[in-house]
Amino acid sequence: MKLNVKLFADGADKEGMLEMHANPLISGFTTNPTLMKVAGVKSYKSFAKDILTYIKDKPISFEVFSDDFKEMEKQAMEIGSWADNIYVKIPITNTKSESSFDLINRLSSKNIKVNVTAMMTVAQVQSVLPALTKGSGSYVSVFAGRIADAGFDPLPIMREVVDILQDYPSIELIWASPRELYNVVQANEIGCDIITATNDILRKLPTLGKDLDQFSLETVKMFYGDAKEAGYSI
């Protein structure tokens, strides 16, 4: 199956990131503080600097982690200085629900590549576009998977953002938090620029377009083989 959507690997496990870096299908990387915590990262800066010695040729996003906008800006300037392929993730608001617009505006004006994250509505995307147009390139990350978790169909929202961004060629849409491989197909079909997924989803890419009868037979063989190996009897 031909894919026009760019595939980004989402994670903070060094071994897994390097595995995906070696995969020619992967065009970039995203991380966040939660993924770093799960991966056991102790030093944010040391982890990032180490990964950047390997991933030099593809975009990679690192997120600020303060709740104060002045401190966020300081962190963003520091993170952005580490390498030319870095996009700095800025949440759409802080934990007090205060808009990050002014911060995004300042960073874009300073030519920091920004990835605005944790967005789930069209209105949120529209609210930051005037700030992002000042930069040389940026991402808007819409968490389609979490929209679905809330019981809403993310496709109308994602389609509307795709249409809006036709007038903003320097801003790319990331389909974030996919829940299954089929989301890659959906993102591709609506013309989304990027989809970022965890390694467990990306490792399923070879199954795309697979003959379903053959896939069914392989599944039957798997169940049979596992039962035989386990030595089950009744």
Query: Token pair of 131, please?
Result: 């700030």
Judge whether 89 counts as a catalytic residue.
yes
Query: Token pair of 4, please?
Result: 């026009």
Q: Please identify which residue in the block is written with the tokens 């809403």.
A: 152
CB burial readout 94-113, b (16+ within 10 A) else e: beeeeebbebbbbbbeeebb
Beta strands in the chain (DSSP E): 6-10, 26-30, 60-63, 86-91, 114-119, 138-143, 171-176, 194-197
* Burial (0-12, 13-18, 19+ Cβ within 10 Å), 148: middle
Tell me 167's DSSP state: G
Q: Which of 2, 14, 45, 89 is catalytic?
A: 89
Strand partners, 6: 194
Q: Do 190 and 148 contact (CB within 8 A), yes or no?
A: no
Residues marked active site are found at 89
